[in-house]
Amino acid sequence: MPKYLSTFVTTLCGIVIAGSLLAVAGATPVHAQTCSWTGNWDTGTFGVMNLSQSGTDITGGYVYTGSDGKAIQGTLVVYIVDSATAAGAWLQTNNPNPGGLVWTMSPDCKTFTGQYALPSTPTGSWDGPWNGTRTG
Protein backbone atom coordinates (compact mmCIF):
# COMPACT_ATOMS: atom_id res chain seq x y z
CA MET A 1 0.00 0.00 0.00
CA PRO A 2 1.34 3.45 -0.85
CA LYS A 3 2.58 5.24 2.28
CA TYR A 4 0.58 8.40 1.47
CA LEU A 5 -2.67 6.39 1.50
CA SER A 6 -1.88 4.86 4.88
CA THR A 7 -0.92 8.26 6.32
CA PHE A 8 -3.99 9.89 4.76
CA VAL A 9 -6.43 7.37 6.22
CA THR A 10 -4.68 7.05 9.60
CA THR A 11 -4.67 10.82 10.07
CA LEU A 12 -8.38 11.06 9.39
CA CYS A 13 -9.64 7.93 11.15
CA GLY A 14 -12.12 8.65 13.92
CA ILE A 15 -13.21 12.02 12.56
CA VAL A 16 -13.15 11.74 8.79
CA ILE A 17 -12.27 8.64 6.81
CA ALA A 18 -11.12 8.21 3.21
CA GLY A 19 -10.48 10.30 0.13
CA SER A 20 -14.10 11.31 -0.21
CA LEU A 21 -13.97 12.59 3.37
CA LEU A 22 -16.70 10.37 4.75
CA ALA A 23 -17.78 12.01 7.97
CA VAL A 24 -17.90 9.62 10.88
CA ALA A 25 -18.62 12.20 13.55
CA GLY A 26 -17.25 11.17 16.89
CA ALA A 27 -16.86 7.51 15.90
CA THR A 28 -14.26 5.60 17.83
CA PRO A 29 -13.09 2.16 16.72
CA VAL A 30 -13.97 -0.56 19.20
CA HIS A 31 -11.94 -3.62 20.09
CA ALA A 32 -14.73 -6.20 19.98
CA GLN A 33 -16.08 -7.36 16.63
CA THR A 34 -18.78 -10.02 16.50
CA CYS A 35 -17.91 -11.08 12.93
CA SER A 36 -14.48 -11.37 11.40
CA TRP A 37 -13.97 -9.57 8.09
CA THR A 38 -11.09 -11.91 7.18
CA GLY A 39 -11.75 -13.97 4.08
CA ASN A 40 -12.77 -13.82 0.44
CA TRP A 41 -15.82 -11.80 -0.57
CA ASP A 42 -17.59 -11.83 -3.94
CA THR A 43 -18.55 -8.23 -4.63
CA GLY A 44 -19.89 -8.66 -8.15
CA THR A 45 -18.80 -5.35 -9.64
CA PHE A 46 -15.35 -5.35 -8.02
CA GLY A 47 -14.74 -9.09 -8.30
CA VAL A 48 -13.49 -11.22 -5.44
CA MET A 49 -11.99 -9.22 -2.63
CA ASN A 50 -9.56 -10.71 -0.09
CA LEU A 51 -9.64 -9.11 3.37
CA SER A 52 -7.49 -9.63 6.43
CA GLN A 53 -8.52 -8.30 9.84
CA SER A 54 -6.15 -7.64 12.72
CA GLY A 55 -7.89 -6.05 15.70
CA THR A 56 -9.81 -3.05 14.36
CA ASP A 57 -7.73 -2.81 11.16
CA ILE A 58 -8.77 -4.41 7.87
CA THR A 59 -6.53 -4.53 4.81
CA GLY A 60 -7.05 -6.20 1.49
CA GLY A 61 -7.28 -6.01 -2.22
CA TYR A 62 -9.21 -6.91 -5.32
CA VAL A 63 -8.77 -7.11 -9.08
CA TYR A 64 -11.53 -6.55 -11.64
CA THR A 65 -11.82 -5.79 -15.33
CA GLY A 66 -12.51 -2.17 -16.24
CA SER A 67 -14.77 -1.00 -19.07
CA ASP A 68 -11.70 -0.85 -21.34
CA GLY A 69 -10.99 -4.55 -20.73
CA LYS A 70 -7.87 -3.88 -18.63
CA ALA A 71 -7.31 -5.29 -15.16
CA ILE A 72 -7.69 -2.77 -12.34
CA GLN A 73 -6.09 -3.57 -9.00
CA GLY A 74 -7.50 -2.10 -5.80
CA THR A 75 -5.99 -1.72 -2.33
CA LEU A 76 -8.11 -1.30 0.80
CA VAL A 77 -7.42 0.26 4.20
CA VAL A 78 -10.47 -0.05 6.46
CA TYR A 79 -11.16 0.48 10.17
CA ILE A 80 -13.90 -1.05 12.28
CA VAL A 81 -16.18 1.72 13.53
CA ASP A 82 -18.55 -0.41 15.63
CA SER A 83 -19.57 -4.07 15.99
CA ALA A 84 -21.08 -4.24 12.47
CA THR A 85 -19.69 -1.23 10.58
CA ALA A 86 -16.36 -0.62 8.87
CA ALA A 87 -15.26 2.47 6.96
CA GLY A 88 -12.13 3.39 5.09
CA ALA A 89 -10.46 4.05 1.78
CA TRP A 90 -9.77 2.33 -1.52
CA LEU A 91 -7.06 3.11 -4.05
CA GLN A 92 -6.95 1.71 -7.59
CA THR A 93 -4.21 1.47 -10.19
CA ASN A 94 -6.29 3.55 -12.62
CA ASN A 95 -6.63 6.54 -10.25
CA PRO A 96 -3.95 8.02 -7.95
CA ASN A 97 -6.54 9.46 -5.52
CA PRO A 98 -8.22 7.41 -2.79
CA GLY A 99 -11.99 7.11 -2.51
CA GLY A 100 -14.17 6.29 0.47
CA LEU A 101 -16.27 3.33 1.56
CA VAL A 102 -18.55 2.19 4.35
CA TRP A 103 -19.72 -1.40 4.90
CA THR A 104 -22.23 -2.96 7.30
CA MET A 105 -21.92 -6.66 8.15
CA SER A 106 -25.05 -8.81 8.31
CA PRO A 107 -25.86 -10.49 11.66
CA ASP A 108 -25.02 -13.93 10.20
CA CYS A 109 -21.55 -12.69 9.08
CA LYS A 110 -22.10 -14.00 5.54
CA THR A 111 -22.79 -10.74 3.66
CA PHE A 112 -22.18 -7.03 3.90
CA THR A 113 -23.86 -4.04 2.32
CA GLY A 114 -22.23 -0.72 1.73
CA GLN A 115 -21.48 2.29 -0.40
CA TYR A 116 -18.44 3.75 -2.12
CA ALA A 117 -17.52 7.28 -3.05
CA LEU A 118 -15.22 8.40 -5.84
CA PRO A 119 -12.33 10.71 -4.93
CA SER A 120 -14.17 13.74 -6.34
CA THR A 121 -17.45 13.07 -4.51
CA PRO A 122 -18.46 15.63 -1.86
CA THR A 123 -18.45 14.58 1.78
CA GLY A 124 -21.54 12.62 2.77
CA SER A 125 -22.45 11.63 -0.79
CA TRP A 126 -22.11 8.20 -2.38
CA ASP A 127 -21.60 6.98 -5.94
CA GLY A 128 -22.91 3.44 -5.69
CA PRO A 129 -23.33 0.23 -3.74
CA TRP A 130 -20.45 -1.95 -2.61
CA ASN A 131 -21.91 -5.24 -1.35
CA GLY A 132 -20.30 -8.61 -0.75
CA THR A 133 -21.00 -12.26 -0.05
CA ARG A 134 -18.49 -14.38 1.88
CA THR A 135 -17.00 -17.12 -0.31
CA GLY A 136 -14.24 -18.33 1.97
Residue type for 20, please?
A: S
CA–CA separation, 41 and 29 (whole Å): 22
User: What is the pLDDT confidence band of residue 124, given thresholds at 50, 70 and 90?
Assistant: confident
pLDDT in tens, 63-113: 999 889 999 999 999 999 998 999 999 999 998 899 999 999 999 999 999
With CA atoms as reference, report the closest residue to 121 among 100, 103, 104.
Answer: 100
CATH number at residue 124: 2.40.128
CA–CA separation, 8 and 10 (whole Å): 6
CA–CA separation, 3 and 54 (whole Å): 19
Q: Is 13 helix (H, G, I), strand (E, B) or coil?
A: coil
CB contact at 8 A, 40 and 136: yes
pLDDT at 114 over 80: yes
* Number of structural domains in the chain: 1
pLDDT in tens, 5-62: 444 444 333 333 443 333 333 444 444 448 999 999 999 989 999 999 999 999 999 9
The domain in which residue 109 lies consists of 3-134
